[in-house]
Amino acid sequence: MSIPQGSVDLINYPPTQITTEDGVVNILQLTDPHLYLDPNTQTAGINNYQSFTACLQQALNEDIRCDLILLSGDLVNEVKPEIYQKIYQLLAQTGIAFVCIAGNHDVTDELDTHLPFSQRRFVPHKPNPMLLSNHCLVLNEWRLLLIDSSVPGKIYGAVGNKNLNWLAQNLANSHHPVIIAMHHHVLPMDSTWIDQHIAQDAEAFWQLVDNHSTVKAVVSGHVHQNFESQRAGVKVYATPSTCYQFKPKSDDFAIDDQAVPGYRWLSLDKQGTIKSWITRLANKNA
């Protein structure tokens, strides 16, 4: 599938319901593109913009119907509205419904990156108005619940009382299978440095989720690597970035030079079961 160019009308954003004839909904999760205003900017030897568009293009050329594109945070690496507009137009031009949520870089500008981490400045911002929170999307029999785990001025996340209350209300009133999406991870990655930046109230989140058997999966970004686990029968997924990757199980910050950008597919069927898998970019230097 080619991605057409030109301006688009985002009047139908965000979607609230997607219905498919075969009862299956296929979600393409793209995460952590970290885009800059200058599309030629590279990080760790990867052109962030080219790698993001290559992942999108490759995914939509696969032999699988895409019903929804989920962009799960850190859309940008510098908080500028022009970058968001470019991303939204690119997604809208695919003709496929899409939703976007905030990550830490969407609400925080990290300045003085040439300095050691402890000496950098972190400037808080309000999230772009197109980034969703407390949004329920009906996918056939499924419910996709989107929450904003970002904390302005911080790298770590928090679900927060407002989101917890909203989740509690939605879970109490629904007998449908549920998947929850946020940016920050809610299970430890066995990586000391990245686990300092987990959702700080993850245990409060799990105390709520543990009481609702309708929750089938939690999906996030943030950790720039593939992660698949479960807690009390709930599948927990984190997804590779569309640009650079972090080295798994590293106590100190480290880039995984061998890992390739990628994305996740989530296939939800009418029986309430979920299948998920990672696909890597065929050409890392695309």
Residue 116's CATH number: 3.60.21.10
**Does residue 17 fall inside a structural domain?**
no
Q: How confident is the model at residue 40 (pLDDT cuts 50, 70, 90)?
A: very high
Asked if pLDDT for residue 5 goes beyond 70, the answer is no
CA 152 vs CA 113, 147, 163, 195, 202: distances in Å: 18, 15, 15, 18, 18
- CB 241 within 8 Å of CB 34: yes
CA atoms within 13 A on the CB side of 64: 20
Decide: 214 and 179 in contact? Cβ < 8 Å: no
In a domain, 13, yes or no: no
pLDDT, position 284: 65
pLDDT digits (tens, 9 = 90+) for 101-122: 999 999 999 887 777 777 788 8
pLDDT (mean) for 22-37: 98
Domain assignment of residue 111, given as a range: 26-162+178-280
Average confidence (pLDDT) over 55-77: 98
pLDDT band, very low/low/confident/very high, at 286 (cuts 50, 70, 90): low
- Percentage of the chain with pLDDT > 70? 95
Give me the mean pLDDT over the 197-226 stretch. Answer: 97
The confidence score (pLDDT) of residue 115 equals: 78
Burial label for 163, CB within 10 Å (0-12, 13-18, 19+), is buried
Side-chain-side CA neighbours of 226 within 13 Å: the count stands at 12
194 occurs within a structural domain:
yes
Q: Report pLDDT digits (tens) over 7-20.
A: 445 678 999 999 99
2 within domain boundaries: no
Residue 71 lies in a domain: yes
Question: Does residue 36 register a pLDDT over 70?
Answer: yes
Cα–Cα distance, 109 to 125 (Å, whole number): 8
Does residue 169 form part of some domain?
Answer: no
**Are β-strands 25-30 and 262-268 bridged in parallel, bridged antiparallel, or unpaired?**
antiparallel
Query: What's the pLDDT at 3?
Result: 39
Distance CA 164, CA 115 (A): 36
How many domains would you assign to the chain? 1
Q: What mean pLDDT value characterizes the chain?
A: 93
**118-175 pLDDT tens trace:** 778 889 999 999 999 999 999 999 999 999 999 999 999 999 999 999 999 999 988 9
pLDDT for res 174: 82
- Tell me whether residue 170 is in a domain: no
Structure tokens that stand for 182 in this block: 């946020």
Residue 145 lies in a domain: yes
Mean pLDDT, rounded, for 200-207? 98
